[in-house]
Amino acid sequence: MAFKELVFSGVQPTGNLHLGNYLGAIVKFVALQERYDCIYCVVDMHAITVWQDPAELKRSIREVTAAFLASGIDPKRHIVFNQSQVAEHAELAWIFNCVARLGWLNRMTQFKEKAGKDRENASVGLYAYPNLMAADILVYRATHVPVGEDQKQHLELSRDIAQKFNNDFADSIATLGLGPAFFPLPEPLIQGPATRVMSLRDGTKKMSKSDPSDYSRINLTDDADAIAQKVRKAKTDPDPLPHDEKGLETRPEADNLVGIFAALADRTKADVLREYAGAQFSSFKAALVDLAVARLGPVGAEMKRLVQDPAHIDAVLGDGAARAGVLAAETMRAVKDIVGFVRR
């Protein structure tokens, strides 16, 4: 069965947005606006799966929204809102808590990484996070989900949940004339040279908001001096740049910097290496600084301008939530009928 094509994705308001979020997700969100109807969500309910200071959370929700707008997401043609304003996300997540199996969630690597050694003390929300993510996507019956490589496993779980719901309730879906399948199996869109931007301090670790070292990441709001310092200090090896991508295979830090360069310049890694083959990192890093400052400077400046006017940002989120809410409510009414709940 053909579902209407629709893009959904989210970003957590959990701290400083970084180059990985920008290249792995936000740049893709912007490009997809031309071809699809898109819903972009600031997933504040995901954020509280680990402790967030309330005042800081509010600031962060507005900052992620500002990053969306500053990067070129159009909240009039598409939908931008924060998750907690559309209660149907949580409502559908509960149903999915009853569809997903413990064994499925036990395999999720993000939970293992984030819970760390003290698993007994992790929130139940952190464990159930992938079910809420499935609900975020499927409450709009979205078909395409642009994400970084780290979210691939969660997307696969979303597909499993959609499939099991469709199977478990197949008779009910058919009786109500809503079938053969009620939910689409959402497809991950993970493409390009920067689907997994690594830490500048350690080429084997993902660049992350939660890394204690600010030198591990380039934040969207970093000024030119900070970007220059972080790139100059970025870990590398002593060899010059290789001639082709094969030469990057055993050099995670070099691979990362070339990937960042390629994504910022809208080129392939092979193309970048054709230009810089044999170059020392000192000259490559200088070119990377210029490129990063040119690309990120205007975005950071516009973010800083937008967050000065929280009332405007809140109005954008309110308008988006109202429009998203209409779509989500329609899905939830059908889901309640399918499951067998009595409703007004």
The residues that touch ligand ATP, with contacts defined as CB under 6 A, are 11-12, 14, 20-21, 24-25, 147-148, 150-151, 195-197, 206-210
Q: Are 209 and 193 in contact (CB under 8 A)?
A: no
Active-site annotation holds for 206:
yes
Q: How far is the CB of 187 from ligand ATP (least distance, A)?
A: 14
Q: Are 88 and 332 in contact (CB under 8 A)?
A: yes
**Residue 11 or residue 30: which is nearer to ligand ATP going by CB?**
11
Q: How far is the CB of 24 from ligand ATP (least distance, A)?
A: 2
- Which one is catalytic: 58, 152, 209, 336? 209
The token duo for 149 is 């490589």
Q: Are 171 and 340 in contact (CB under 8 A)?
A: no
Distance of alpha carbon 144 from alpha carbon 134, whole angstroms: 12
Distance of alpha carbon 66 from alpha carbon 72, whole angstroms: 10
Distance of alpha carbon 58 from alpha carbon 63, whole angstroms: 9
Q: How far is the CB of 13 from ligand ATP (least distance, A)?
A: 8
Question: HSE-up of 294 (CA within 13 Å, CB side)?
Answer: 9
Q: How far is the CB of 163 from ligand ATP (least distance, A)?
A: 22
Other beta carbons within 10 Å of 164 = 16
**Residue 236 or residue 256: which is nearer to ligand ATP going by CB?**
256
DSSP single-letter state for residue 3:
P
Q: How far is the CB of 210 from ligand ATP (least distance, A)?
A: 4
In angstroms, the Cα distances linking 233 to 143, 219, 276, 282 are 41, 15, 20, 10
Active-site annotation holds for 209:
yes
**Residue 62 or residue 206: which is nearer to ligand ATP going by CB?**
206
Q: How far is the CB of 213 from ligand ATP (least distance, A)?
A: 13
CA 228 to chain centre: 26
3-state SS record for 66-101: HHHHHHCCCCCCCEEEEHHHCCHHHHHHHHHHCCCC
Q: How far is the CB of 169 from ligand ATP (least distance, A)?
A: 29
Active-site annotation holds for 235:
no
**Residue 83 or residue 331: which is nearer to ligand ATP going by CB?**
83
Distance of alpha carbon 256 from alpha carbon 270, whole angstroms: 13
Cβ within 8 Å of residue 274, ≥6 positions away: none
* Single-letter amino acid, residue 34: E
Nearest to 306 by CA among 80, 62, 11: 62
- Residues annotated as catalytic are 114, 206, 209
